[in-house]
Amino acid sequence: MSAARQQILDALRRSLRRDVLPEADRVALEARLAAPKPGLIPARSRSDGRARVAQFLKMAEEAAATVTHLPSLRDVPGAVTDYLARENLPAALRLAPDPRLQSLPWAGRPLLSISTGRSDGSDPVSLTPAFAGIAETGTLVLLSGAETPTTLNFLPDTHIVLLEAGDIVGAYENVWPLLRARFGAAAMPRTVNLITGPSRSADIEQTLQMGAHGPRRLHILLVDEQEATR
């Protein structure tokens, strides 16, 4: 833990008069963190298999996201190229430095200009992987990290997200055990972004404006290579 973070947490504990936890409270807290109780799962989020995928698609499209179904990860470069042409967008892509994305056959698309890394705000289109999808609301779960810079989620005008069908869960409550299993208690990602549809706002005169705080387009590449099992 950094010194600055420790200083802030210590100040909060002192203000709450919790700088010294009684032993019983400390033991109870550590036990709760070691074995978190599962949250309640809404009835509409208990579907599985293809029904869960169908629910995710329905909710994502209701939130103004668009979706392309793909049978294999190897189809991703072609689907990206087709989407950019269909939407009359520049043939330029800022790619997250994620090994799955880097290993795809981009060489077969020589007219597509590809760069990799964080966005400085000048990139028209980004492609990032999703950690999970949530069928309950059609939400994407995106993690920050060296291989998945958060700037790619919000700065480009068009955001393309790769999601595998097997990574779709029913409810928000299902995501947290997966995160603990992947990272462990001491190495969680700094940020977990939950994104439902493209950015929008109706704050000004109740007129809907797309792209108010982030991308105006959200396109999901749903790969059916593995069955939905979670």
Band the pLDDT of 207: cuts 50, 70, 90: low
Band the pLDDT of 1: cuts 50, 70, 90: low
pTM across the whole model: 0.83
Cα–Cα distance between 166 and 228 in angstroms, integer? 4
- What's the pLDDT score for residue 228? 42
- pLDDT exceeds 70 at position 202: no
Report the mean per-residue pLDDT for the chain. 88
Q: Does residue 144 share a domain with residue 88?
A: yes
Q: Which two tokens stand for residue 58?
A: 């329905």
Do the domain assignments include residue 229? no
Q: Does residue 189 share a domain with residue 88?
A: yes
Q: What are phi and psi of 110, to 5 degrees?
A: -65, -20
Q: What is the largest CA-CA distance in the chain?
A: 64
- What's the pLDDT score for residue 166? 94
- What's the pLDDT score for residue 119? 96
Q: Which two tokens stand for residue 84?
A: 């950019």
Torsion of CA 137, 194, 96, 68, to 10 degrees: 10
Instruction: Specify the range with the lowest mean pLDDT, choosing from 36-45, 50-59, 145-154.
Output: 36-45
Separation of CA 41 from chain center: 20
Do the domain assignments include residue 230? no
The predicted model gives 88-117 an average pLDDT of 96
> For residue 195, how many other CB atoms are within 10 A of its CB?
21
The predicted model gives 155-184 an average pLDDT of 94
Q: Does residue 149 share a domain with residue 125?
A: yes
Count how many domains the chain has. 2
Q: What are phi and psi of 164, to 5 degrees?
A: -95, 140
Band the pLDDT of 129: cuts 50, 70, 90: very high
- What's the pLDDT score for residue 126? 98
Quickly list H helices, the chain: 3-15, 23-34, 49-62, 76-86, 99-102, 151-154, 175-183
Q: Does residue 20 share a domain with residue 120?
A: no
- pLDDT exceeds 70 at position 206: no
Listed residue (191, 194, 172, 173) closest to 183, CA to CA: 191
Q: Does residue 25 share a domain with residue 54?
A: no
Q: pLDDT, tens digit, for every residue of 208-229?
A: 565 566 799 999 999 986 544 4
- Report the CATH number at residue 47: 3.40.50.10420
Domain that holds residue 30: 1-35
Do the domain assignments include residue 156? yes
Contacts within 8 Å (CB) and 24+ apart, 16-23: none
Cα–Cα distance between 140 and 197 in angstroms, integer? 9
Can you spell out the DSSP letters for 135-185?
TTTTEEEEE-BTTB-THHHHSSSEEEEEEEGGGEESSGGGHHHHHHHHH-T
Do the domain assignments include residue 69? yes
Q: Does residue 82 share a domain with residue 6?
A: no
Separation of CA 141 from chain center: 3
Band the pLDDT of 40: cuts 50, 70, 90: confident
Q: Does residue 76 share a domain with residue 177?
A: yes
Q: Does residue 29 share a domain with residue 82?
A: no
Q: Which two tokens stand for residue 179?
A: 């995160």
Do the domain assignments include residue 228? no
Q: Does residue 107 share a domain with residue 25?
A: no
Q: Does residue 82 share a domain with residue 30?
A: no
Please give the share of the chain, as a percent, with pLDDT higher than 70.
Answer: 90
Q: pLDDT, tens digit, for every residue of 64-93?
A: 999 999 999 999 999 999 999 999 999 999
Q: Does residue 86 share a domain with residue 31?
A: no
CB 223 within 8 A of CB 68: no
Q: Does residue 140 share a domain with residue 78?
A: yes
